[in-house]
Structure 1
Amino acid sequence: MAHQRNGLLSDDVLTRPDEGATYTCSIAVIGGSTAAYTTALIALKLKLNVCLVQPQRVVGGQFTAQALPASDDGDLLSHRADLVSVDGEKFAISKIQRWFRNQQRRLQPVAGRRVEDPGGSWVGHLSTTPVVASTALNEALMPYLKSGKLRLIPYAEPTGLLWADGETPRRVTGVTCRDRRTRHGFTVRAKIVVEATDLGDLLELGNLPSRVGQEARSDTGEAILPEQARPQCQQSFTFDVLVERTAPGRGVPIGMPKEYGRVTWLNLKEFTGDFWVRKQGAWKKRDFFDAFGIFRYRRLQRRSLTKNKVSVGDVSVINWGTSGHPELGQCCGNDYRTGYLVGLSRPERDRQIQRARTRAQAYIHHLQVNGVSDLKPRGDLTWTKDGIALEPYIREARRGIALTTIRHGDVAKSFFPNQARARTFSDTLGIGQYHYLDLHGNLVEGHVSPKKDDVYALPFTLPASALVPIDTDGMVLSAKSIGTTHITNAAYRMHPMEWAIGEASGFLAAFSVWSKKQPREIVQQPSLLRKLQGFLTRNGIPIVWFDDVAHDDPDFEAIQVMAAAGIITSESKKDLHFRPYGSVSRAVVCTALVNLLGLEKMEAARPAFKDVRPGKHWAYGSIETLKAKGMVAGMGRGRFMPDKAMTRQQLGYLVRRAMPKAYPAAFAETSQDRHIVQRRDLSRVFYVLLKVKLGI
């Protein structure tokens, strides 16, 4: 009977193909990434049947097989509600992602209590063990595995793409795959294939237009890049290791790898167990078990309710990059910077992966024989013998050339002076935030290193067109293969954002199946795009940054979609507030209506109102346009009073004149009285008008 144990699904819910087997489904999700999981889950929730083909038995990517369930959260996720905003987990992520985080908290109490951060690491806001993360993820899939709506095929990799005959653009119809253990070849046919591998393998197998590593300036238009592309300049990758702090003398050696001290690429001199911090010109050492040392950096499980206390029995994932040292310069932990993975032959890729695994083992061995002996590998939490992850933690993939490429200028603070947000794409399907562009460069020379405001990232959005390959139908890009650049991938690769990318690709794939339209048609037709955005937001997925409108707000969908459409946006660019209860001036309403209707602004020879004149009031063109079409009237004595708050009664008059057939539906949930129009009222009413206009 279907069940799970220690985060592993039982054999009876897994599919192990015979040689030559063929499976048919609505959506084929290929890959074991975090986004692969969320893509599949969304499609299943939308009542479609899914084939999920992945390299391991466990689902979840970064959280599980890569052993890094210490989520790289932006600061906004930990925001606490105040007088003007709501909790971060109610506006910065979706309802489903919040459910996952709460399940983790439920499954891993501390000292018998539910706490906000069961791991208590000092770098993040929420961490648990891979087994807990896997258990929570499996709970959501179990009903679909039992019903047969989900076919989960583990230990498998793609070997090629299937194409429709003679179509332009060319269209993917399926994927050929191979079981890595039995070597059986099999085929998955689907209406939509989702590229959700951690290294962008389908792009390479299908010879789809793509980019690898650091691009040239001419490739992306990013001024910070050099003239020549450097594809070998990629982010480092890491084999994470789970270790427990033991009582003195009770440590368990991980063992010395045979290459230890014999090969140059291990570079033992850069290993350190201390974290040095330079403040006010002086160096301060933090020991390995210090409250802000390496062990607690990504601690996953704690014994004490006191968050800063490090206790015997605590468990941490060692995921340590570079850090300064007063004598050695730059030191490093288990980050593997010597090589790279994308663009190599499979045998060479496997060799680099094995070297990275050896480096992780060597680092833990170095710690154990150099003063940090009280460590015990926790293989029971990684489903391995030595506590080293099943797969490397991947930071960068082959990236598809999509209809839209997200560039440095769409994300970095330097391009948005005195603003709270980065670019809000009109076709946004999600939001993300990480405070800077976190580039872990390998040791290949020539890496660009953004500085100051060029490296800081503002809250950003996910354009739907970045999920659509430029010349291929039947496919949706997901995970780290979407249309980012080497630079912007450094923000979009984080846990919460990859989850959001999976949700977006799941909805886009499902909507393509429902509508029988290709993804490129959906993202390029306004009626289909706004309908898709409505589906996402109706299901509690934010697509525009507002910190005062929760995803369970009754007007969440209307506010989000109208803002994405650029019709009703923030009052100020300097904060993330929407101000749903704020009043709306008559000028603002007129401007929003002109934008909604797509009217060409008119310039009257003689102003209709003496208090709205050309060059004197910013809404002159909009007000004159509506006056000429008989949609607005003045307030007496030749005045329009543009800055006066509009009432619901006046809004009703305006809507009745502008779109009489839409009037009853527009005011079905809004009273017509003399109360002033709130910003949420305007979004609610105008959203109905937009849907009527677009025929959705």
Structure 2
Amino acid sequence: MKRRDFIGRVALGSGTVVSTSLLGMSSPTRENQKKVEIHESGKKFQADLIIAGAGLGGCAAAFAALRNGLTVVLTEETDWLGGQLSQQGVPPDEHQWIETHGAPELYREFRDNVRAYYRRHYPLTAEAAANERLNPGNGSVSRLCHEPKVAHRVLEEMFAPYESARKILILKDHKVKSAAVNSNRVSELTARDLKSGRDCVLTGSYFVDATELGELLPLTGTEYVTGSEAKADTGELHAGPVHRPDNNQAFTVCFAMDYVKGEDWTIPQPEDYDYWKNFRPQMDPPWAGKMLELNYSNPRNLEPKELGFHPEGIKTGENLNLMLYRRILHQDNFEAGFYQGDATIVNWPQNDYVSGNIIDVSEAEFDKHVQAGKQQSLSLLYWLQTEAPRPDGGKGWPGLRLRNDMMGTADGLAKYPYVRESRRIKSKFTVLEEHVGAEQRAQVSGLSGEKLRSAPFFDSVGIGYYHIDLHPSSGGDNYIDFGSLPFQIPLGALIPQKTENLLPANKNIGTTHITNGCYRLHPVEWSIGEAVGMLVPFVLDREVLPASVRSDRSLLKDFQVSLHNQGVETEWPDKN
């Protein structure tokens, strides 16, 4: 079923919602859905679904709920939609089959909309415009490397008709500060306008935590886990000997830069430059050298590995040219002379922040580490401009220009740090390495080669794939990086053990520190959000709890059929 078939919903004068879909999707039947607009009373907003966090999971949950007739209030701490793809500045990390399968249809439609945006607004060459799989930056990390601001604008366009019809209220620059809970049910959230300082109360039937750090979990008393688990608790091959709750993956303050040959765009020397220039991460096994050098520890074997950099895209021997890795604009895709140079996102090993943990700390501690992360990233830029080795024997590339306009900030840095790890709910089911890690899965299944598959989940509500990729951690771990298998997303990992009407839609699902490494990427987060956004109207229609959908095989089958009918895959094909 095509996503465009769900957009044609109109509100009649009587308040009844009908579908204009040619496929005849039925109208909502619940009594409270006759209220088709957000209810507003003073500083209170009431909707069917309250979503905190407008990252990819939060947006996907909102789209799924909206097309199934719910009203939604969506809060966002920044002024951009899109989370890691926009406000954090990270082009999509995706698997090799993403153009045809392995993610919800709506996610691929979003990707098509990004390409369409460039075709409408940018002076592409005829060849680039005709390329069905246009990659604006031709970056090597993704088949769709593009500017963060474009992701935000495309999401705004996709929400526009729902906003116009008052089906969704998007509260940007709002952060949830507290929650009211009765027994095991959340009754309301209080969100603060970060610009005015005023609070508003949000009430609904269900609540979704799509924040980057799982911030609703402690506020609502929902049980959760942080950090790295002990091997004795999970049985995972790559787990450590003890549980370390403050051992979380590094975050990164990303930034965009381009290169203008012959010009000098050198920034003032950052305040902490001398510190970061000489910083050596304390890792086990050891890091390759100083952080601000063109080398790092090879994630697969932790041996020192040289990296390359040339802002004009010139090959740097056999080493990866970091300028090309997350390049978001490639001059060759646009009319000659339109751009002065290529643009790239800097999300490299050199600006991964390993010097502190930002989960379950005070706001002051959080702000301290984020500010330090900003200093690290600015120091990296300054080092590239003034001291990075050049092939001609000189030092520095002063033509590197910080592109604050691409990031939508005054300082040129991302609006929010790129967060790789969150609080994780204690769930009905937890995904372990033995379910998705290639090596341990082979051990427990006795299979190998083409017969080796990830664990099948009877309650699958989505699929995804990425290798298990854990960056260096605040506890001193070096990279943990190894193969995984195309996997399913089990419904049990999306249901808290106790809280009845709060669901996760980000990196806060029931994974471990290890399996978070493959469930944390862009299309998987979207898939999680879309499943959650469809689950809420499903349980409201049937007046059951989410846990009942998993425990009642008949209900589960009905829910999975509804997922399939709306473009969500729950199984991988036998051969990709």
TM-score tier, shorter chain, comes to: 0.7 to 0.9
CA distance in structure 2 between the partners assigned to 1:542 and 1:412 by the alignment: 21
- 1:192: which partner in 2? 206
Counterpart selection for 1:410 from 435, 450, 457: 435
Q: Secondary structure at the match of 1:316?
A: strand
Give the C-alpha shift of residue 265 in structure 1: 8.8
Query: Which protein shows a greater Rg?
Result: 1
- 1:603: which partner in 2? none
Cα RMSD of the aligned pairs, angstroms, is: 2.6
CA distance in structure 2 between the partners assigned to 1:270 and 1:297 by the alignment: 18
Identify unmatched segments of 5+ residues in structure 1: 1-14, 78-88, 322-332, 547-574, 578-696
- 1:239: which partner in 2? 253
* 1:274–1:294 Cα contact (<8 Å) kept: no
* 1:213–1:486 Cα contact (<8 Å) kept: yes
Give the C-alpha shift of residue 222 in structure 1: 2.6
Could you say if the C-alpha distance between residues 155 and 450 of structure 1 is closer, same or farther in structure 2, counting changes exceeding 3 Å? closer
- 2:220: which partner in 1? 206
- 1:512: which partner in 2? 539
Report 1:401-440 matches (<5 A).
401-414=426-439, 415-416=441-442, 417-418=448-449, 419-434=451-466, 436-440=467-471
Q: Secondary structure at the match of 1:234?
A: coil
Cα deviations across residues 164-183 of structure 1 (Å, max 9, x unaligned)?
3xx4xx11122122122222
- 1:71: which partner in 2? 92
Counterpart selection for 1:50 from 47, 52, 72: 72
Letter in 2 for 1:159: K
Give the C-alpha shift of residue 107 in structure 1: 1.8
Give the C-alpha shift of residue 276 in structure 1: 10
Q: Secondary structure at the match of 1:261?
A: helix
- Indicate the percent of aligned positions where both proteins have the same amino acid: 29
Give the C-alpha shift of residue 421 in structure 1: 2.7
- 1:157: which partner in 2? 175
Letter in 2 for 1:76: W
- 2:44: which partner in 1? 22
Letter in 2 for 1:220: T
Cα deviations across residues 250-279 of structure 1 (Å, max 9, x unaligned)?
24223322222157995694213578999x
Report 1:185-584 matches (<5 A).
185-248=199-262, 250-262=263-275, 269-273=290-294, 286-289=308-311, 290-291=314-315, 292-305=320-333, 312-321=340-349, 333-370=350-387, 371-414=396-439, 415-416=441-442, 417-418=448-449, 419-434=451-466, 436-445=467-476, 447=477, 455-546=482-573, 575-576=574-575
Counterpart selection for 1:128 from 139, 146, 152: 146
**TM-score, normalization by structure 2:** 0.81
* 2:81–2:152 Cα contact (<8 Å) kept: yes
Cα deviations across residues 665-684 of structure 1 (Å, max 9, x unaligned)?
xxxxxxxxxxxxxxxxxxxx
Q: Which has the higher relative contact order, 1 or 2, with Cα contacts under 8 A spaced 6 or more apart?
A: 2
Q: Secondary structure at the match of 2:453?
A: coil
* 2:145–2:328 Cα contact (<8 Å) kept: yes
- 1:562: which partner in 2? none
Q: Secondary structure at the match of 2:108?
A: helix
Q: Secondary structure at the match of 2:331?
A: coil
Letter in 2 for 1:352: H
Give the C-alpha shift of residue 134 in structure 1: 1.4
Letter in 2 for 1:137: L
Letter in 2 for 1:362: S
Letter in 2 for 1:317: I
Could you say if the C-alpha distance between residues 420 and 254 of structure 1 is closer, same or farther in structure 2, counting changes exceeding 3 Å? farther
CA distance in structure 2 between the partners assigned to 1:283 and 1:511 by the alignment: 50
CA distance in structure 2 between the partners assigned to 1:120 and 1:263 by the alignment: 31
Could you say if the C-alpha distance between residues 283 and 460 of structure 1 is closer, same or farther in structure 2, counting changes exceeding 3 Å? closer
* 1:44–1:50 Cα contact (<8 Å) kept: yes
Q: Secondary structure at the match of 1:438?
A: strand
* 1:274–1:288 Cα contact (<8 Å) kept: no
CA distance in structure 2 between the partners assigned to 1:373 and 1:275 by the alignment: 24
Q: Secondary structure at the match of 1:481?
A: coil
Give the C-alpha shift of residue 372 in structure 1: 1.9
CA distance in structure 2 between the partners assigned to 1:138 and 1:265 by the alignment: 43
* 1:295–1:316 Cα contact (<8 Å) kept: yes
Q: Secondary structure at the match of 1:104?
A: helix
Cα deviations across residues 10-48 of structure 1 (Å, max 9, x unaligned)?
xxxxx9x99x71111000001132101111111111121
* 1:243–1:378 Cα contact (<8 Å) kept: yes
CA distance in structure 1 between the partners assigned to 2:192 and 2:279 by the alignment: 33
Could you say if the C-alpha distance between residues 24 and 258 of structure 1 is closer, same or farther in structure 2, counting changes exceeding 3 Å? same
CA distance in structure 1 between the partners assigned to 2:176 and 2:307 by the alignment: 47
The aligned length equals 495
Could you say if the C-alpha distance between residues 285 and 516 of structure 1 is closer, same or farther in structure 2, counting changes exceeding 3 Å? closer
CA distance in structure 2 between the partners assigned to 1:155 and 1:522 by the alignment: 35
Could you say if the C-alpha distance between residues 391 and 282 of structure 1 is closer, same or farther in structure 2, counting changes exceeding 3 Å? closer
Letter in 1 for 2:415: L
Could you say if the C-alpha distance between residues 499 and 285 of structure 1 is closer, same or farther in structure 2, counting changes exceeding 3 Å? closer
* 1:476–1:519 Cα contact (<8 Å) kept: no
Report 1:3-22 matches (<5 A).
21-22=43-44
CA distance in structure 1 between the partners assigned to 2:279 and 2:296 by the alignment: 20
Letter in 1 for 2:173: Y
Give the C-alpha shift of residue 225 in structure 1: 2.4
* 2:181–2:220 Cα contact (<8 Å) kept: no
Identify unmatched segments of 5+ residues in structure 2: 1-37, 282-289, 388-395, 443-447
CA distance in structure 1 between the partners assigned to 2:214 and 2:304 by the alignment: 44
Could you say if the C-alpha distance between residues 111 and 272 of structure 1 is closer, same or farther in structure 2, counting changes exceeding 3 Å? farther
* 2:93–2:142 Cα contact (<8 Å) kept: yes
Letter in 1 for 2:53: G
CA distance in structure 2 between the partners assigned to 1:509 and 1:158 by the alignment: 21
CA distance in structure 2 between the partners assigned to 1:294 and 1:449 by the alignment: 18
Could you say if the C-alpha distance between residues 275 and 202 of structure 1 is closer, same or farther in structure 2, counting changes exceeding 3 Å? closer
Letter in 1 for 2:457: F
Could you say if the C-alpha distance between residues 303 and 487 of structure 1 is closer, same or farther in structure 2, counting changes exceeding 3 Å? same
* Mean Cα deviation higher: 262-271 or 500-509: 262-271
* 2:295–2:305 Cα contact (<8 Å) kept: no
- 2:107: which partner in 1? 97
* 2:249–2:474 Cα contact (<8 Å) kept: no
Give the C-alpha shift of residue 387 in structure 1: 2.2
Counterpart selection for 2:164 from 146, 149, 174: 146
Counterpart selection for 1:180 from 154, 171, 194: 194
Q: Secondary structure at the match of 2:48?
A: strand
* 2:357–2:474 Cα contact (<8 Å) kept: no
Cα deviations across residues 299-339 of structure 1 (Å, max 9, x unaligned)?
00111149xxxx84211001101xxxxxxxxxxx1111111
Cα deviations across residues 31-79 of structure 1 (Å, max 9, x unaligned)?
13210111111111112100001101211101111111x21011232xx
Could you say if the C-alpha distance between residues 276 and 507 of structure 1 is closer, same or farther in structure 2, counting changes exceeding 3 Å? closer
- 1:549: which partner in 2? none
CA distance in structure 2 between the partners assigned to 1:295 and 1:449 by the alignment: 22
